[in-house]
Structure 1
């Protein structure tokens, strides 16, 4: 079939324009695609007021009152850790040796209140110490399991939405956050997240009251 030269050129121009538009869209999508989280937090954290951050996480219906404390509302390692935890939308699995930081405890309870499935594994000896948040978590209806064997349950990690790993040397205690030299790695890496998820599920089943009658009843 004979096609006029002008028509052929016009078609080629349209095809080139369409290809260029498609390439531009693809490049824009690549630019705007969210990059996996890669963050390192070092402690001790600078003193900072986190009341506004937690109040915002409580939702629009929660009462908001000005905080009387003199601390600045600055970005710090604790506030960054709180934001990572509060980003959970579906699940939060926590495996901690010691947990006594009130701000982190409140953040976990807020997530539970929002409908996030929260599970906590901790050490039996340290869960009952003064200031521990474990009792408050259980009172809120959060599932908690603990060891009842030899050695400490010494892990320190959390998994947000089965996609983001938070791990390092930090126990979630006020002393560690305010005083100790500690580190926390926050990373979205499917390979590493799976390894930690497998370890959490293994411990969760091992510490189940149905598998060991000596364990106290979970709530």
Structure 2
């Protein structure tokens, strides 16, 4: 009996010791934390397509790479960008992962890998020189930068870079829609707090719901596809100022939440872009923004490989609010 209690104590001690840790595929233990980690001088820039020249922003960001450019693209067809990647690969370590559904041999070489997965590799991000991350909703395609409504975010943060490097390594090694939980999920720089998650391993849906729960004044959203009932329910629970823009073609599709939210009296609209309103954005209390590649859908949360950023900063939120007001008008 004493021996059993001893082993029970040791087991519990081990649980406490390794709590806040994860084990990677090699068997190594990686420390994680739920507490915000502090970082000085995080830099964040936001752009909106097509009103900003997103093609040049993406191209110049990659072209300015001195040592490395590692990118994960759901789709890619910009010839100018493809040429930039090809030229840069001669002078730097360039790697690109492209989803198989959109790979048409538009770019070839040892630095190119096709994501052969049953699920979408739906990311749109690049890591440059282990110094900055470019991400958002923008596919580097003609439609993505010139016609569709999208956002681009450039972040200089060593912890965000490390998170995305870990995710890219998984993709490069053929690990899709699974993998380790994010290492640094909250980074605090004083005037800005960044939350970073990858789907499905970090339960991105729950992160979205938890953020919406905190709303006290307003929720504005712009969504390409919105079918998740749980996220819609959390919005419906809120007796605050709520407005939403749905991409017109998918608004009334099967499981789409447009009609449901409208029937409950919420102010929702279909977008007016003849092409595509491609945002995946929630603006909370004019001070917090949820964005990234994940649509609020079952596929976005449970099946596809995705990334999500939750940005707590009034200045950034005001820029997304300006985009919302343009599309709402």
* TM, length-normalised to structure 1: 0.60
2:277 corresponds, among 143, 147, 153, to: 153
Q: How far off is 1:149 after superposition? A: 4.0
2:289 corresponds, among 150, 165, 174, to: 165
1:52-201 equivalences in 2 (<5 Å): 76-111=203-238, 115-201=239-325
- Establish whether residue 39 from structure 1 lines up as the match of residue 39 from structure 2: no
Partners of 2:197 and 2:258 in 1: how far apart?
24
Work out whether residues 167 and 186 of structure 1, in 8 Å CA contact, stay in contact via their aligned partners in 2.
yes
Partners of 1:120 and 1:126 in 2: how far apart?
14
Report the equivalent of 2:168: none
Over aligned residues, Cα RMSD in angstroms? 1.6
Q: Helix, strand or coil: the match of 2:249?
A: coil
Q: How far off is 1:36 after superposition? A: 4.6
Q: How far off is 1:189 after superposition? A: 1.8
Partners of 1:146 and 1:174 in 2: how far apart?
21
Report the equivalent of 1:17: none
Q: How far off is 1:124 after superposition? A: 0.8
Q: How far off is 1:77 after superposition? A: 2.8
Work out whether residues 290 and 310 of structure 2, in 8 Å CA contact, stay in contact via their aligned partners in 1.
yes
Partners of 1:204 and 1:159 in 2: how far apart?
14
Partners of 2:292 and 2:208 in 1: how far apart?
12
Q: How far off is 1:193 after superposition? A: 1.2
| Distance 1:106-1:45 versus aligned 2 partners, 3 A rule | farther
Aligned residue-pair number: 140
Q: How far off is 1:192 after superposition? A: 1.4
Runs of 4+ in structure 1 displaced over 3 angstroms?
A: 34-37
Which of 1 and 2 has greater Rg? 1
Partners of 1:178 and 1:120 in 2: how far apart?
23
Q: Helix, strand or coil: the match of 1:126?
A: helix
Deviations 1:85-110 (A, max 9, x none): 11000000000001001111111111
Work out whether residues 45 and 78 of structure 1, in 8 Å CA contact, stay in contact via their aligned partners in 2.
no
Where in structure 2 are there 5+ consecutive unaligned residues?
Answer: 1-189
Q: Helix, strand or coil: the match of 2:221?
A: strand
Higher-RCO chain (CA-CA 8 Å, sequence separation at least 6): 1
Give the structure with the larger helix fraction.
Answer: 1
Work out whether residues 200 and 306 of structure 2, in 8 Å CA contact, stay in contact via their aligned partners in 1.
yes
* TM, length-normalised to structure 2: 0.41
Work out whether residues 204 and 308 of structure 2, in 8 Å CA contact, stay in contact via their aligned partners in 1.
no
| Distance 1:141-1:77 versus aligned 2 partners, 3 A rule | same
Work out whether residues 223 and 246 of structure 2, in 8 Å CA contact, stay in contact via their aligned partners in 1.
yes
Give the structure with the larger strand fraction.
Answer: 2
Q: How far off is 1:78 after superposition? A: 2.1
Q: Helix, strand or coil: the match of 1:186?
A: strand
Deviations 1:92-146 (A, max 9, x none): 00000010011111111111xxx21110001110001101111110011100111
Partners of 1:116 and 1:45 in 2: how far apart?
31
